[in-house]
Structure 1
């Protein structure tokens, strides 16, 4: 009976895989008739091992494709050189820019990054945090889900000596390590910018009340109006849950006002895109009948035919870099910092950036 070509080729392929399997310390020791500890010290060029033995061990290790057992090394050092990162949604350009900053800084210091997405769900955030702990990450960097209010799952990581650094979306805890962008000055600049363009009915589409950034936006908005002696109309302040439907509901409220706004400041660029689309569907000429200013200053807005007039820069990449820098300090000086009760709390100052269509 004639064999199929598949069967003929399969066995040699399997044999090749088996033959090229990397060797272990035990295999090298057996072939050279020395102890495993001698092989280990020779590979690390320990002075207690003679030159001839060291040379033989290195040559055989190379011939056998020996690779160090990283798991064993990590166990001995008490580190995995892995940092866990949890983001609300990696598809958002803001967070993809932040992870670039985190990864590049991590790689410079020989750390790897393990990613997780909460999709803005607090329960999923808790589950991913537990998974990160089980995978023995050395530290955790996180931007909170929009409705996160319980932070005990992060506090529990202290029992396992896993430091946590928050960025952008941070908890209302004075004892937290964090990096954020102070949005008050940027929002105030946005209001002043619109006033100079002749607008007095300026609306704010703000975010979920659970986020500190929502409070900052409101403070910047009211401060600028007070400074210009413009009466604050709370009917012009609405909120969105950051979904398309939530933003459309906010726009519906604003456009239904007896005296609707002539300009709108949105929570971020994604909210601006949804708001602009809604306004167009209702026959509004963008930046003529209704002007927009957004937050985040993401590159995508620069490719729109009618982008917002301006956007508040929040420095996502820089936030990621600084979060990783803080993490490295915690990993190298953790116990020392605990004894001193020192916490890293870094704030970048937002600023308004004009957008050229």
Structure 2
């Protein structure tokens, strides 16, 4: 005891600081988790980041952020960098262009668990948190059908995204549920860029059926399509109405917001994904990998009507 006190006193006199890296190395942990997202600037992912940091910091974990800019090669490079930085685990929302997922599979060799959220790979052997886009799309399309629309277009995302498949599935189910025939020409894919959204809208407007409403992949695609329609002289919410996804705050400040938007609860997704990763890290090495069950969390979406825009329409 006396020796310990002498050591502490001497350390204080010498302004000694513990080498935290060495301590973590001895424990086999860095208490750092990596996060790879498509774009940190997007409001959706900003909300998810807030949840990730809030949840991780409560468990004394540091968060290392990176963005792929929707580039598959960049995403692969970031996975390697995260591995070399010895992160304990990884949270990922995949790039829209990612078509293979071997770079994530290889992390299991280094005992680095991965939890996907929002944009998840179409695989069974993964931990994931996502929003139910099928039911959300059924709600969105049914909402427009109840407003009297029959030729409803959809500007969907790229085929590489599983979320695009879910939206298409929801569109088809909504039509069949309402005893209407599914017209595949009314569902158009785009690459989520402004030019892509404009081209998709042009394709819908050129359809032999007069499209009177459009469901867009997200609020950004809606904004691109909205601006393009206005340039074409189309009267928004008179000749063409929109429903979107994400329910981003920016829509509240637009002169012609979408009639409704599918809320995807990004904070909840980020929080739950982080909690799952923490559980995986706390149980790391305590059970055989073959017997490991995969977390599959599905958060229900919610169609949110833009009452503000409806009140404006009633005034004019």
TM-score after normalising by structure 2: 0.94
The equivalent residue for 2:32 is 82
Aligned equivalents of 1:206, 1:126: Cα separation in 2: 25
Cα distance in 2 between the residues matched to 1:183 and 1:69: 47
Q: Is the 8 A contact 1:84 1:114 kept in 2?
A: yes
In structure 1, how many angstroms separate the alpha carbons of the residues matched to 2:5 and 2:238?
78
C-alpha distance 338-285 of structure 1, shift in aligned 2 (>3 A): same
Greater RCO between the two (CA within 8 Å, min separation 6)? Answer: 2
Q: Contact (CA 8 Å) 1:148, 1:210: kept in 2 or not?
A: yes
Equivalent runs, 1:1-357 vs 2, <5 Å:
50=1, 52-335=2-285, 336=287, 338-355=289-306, 356-357=308-309
Q: In structure 2, what is the Cα distance between the partners aligned to 1:259 and 1:150?
A: 37
CA contact (8 A) 1:167 1:320 kept: yes
C-alpha RMSD of the superposition: 1.3
CA 1:330/1:248 → structure 2, altered by over 3 Å: closer, same or farther? same
C-alpha deviation, 1:339, in angstroms? 4.7
Higher radius of gyration, 1 or 2: 1
**Counterpart of 2:50 in 1: which secondary structure?**
helix
CA distance in 2, matches of 1:153, 1:225: 38
Show structure 2 runs of 5+ residues with no match.
310-316
Alpha-carbon deviations, 1:286-334, whole Å to 9, x = none?
1111100000111111111110010001111111111111111111113
- Other structure's SS at 2:166 match: helix
Q: Distance in 1 between matches of 2:288 and 2:134?
A: 30
Question: What is the TM-score normalised by the length of structure 1?
Answer: 0.83
The number of residues matched between the two structures is 307
Question: 2:122, 2:85 → 1: CA distance?
Answer: 28
Deviations 1:253-305, CA, capped at 9 Å, x for gaps: 11122332110000001000001000110111211111000001111111111
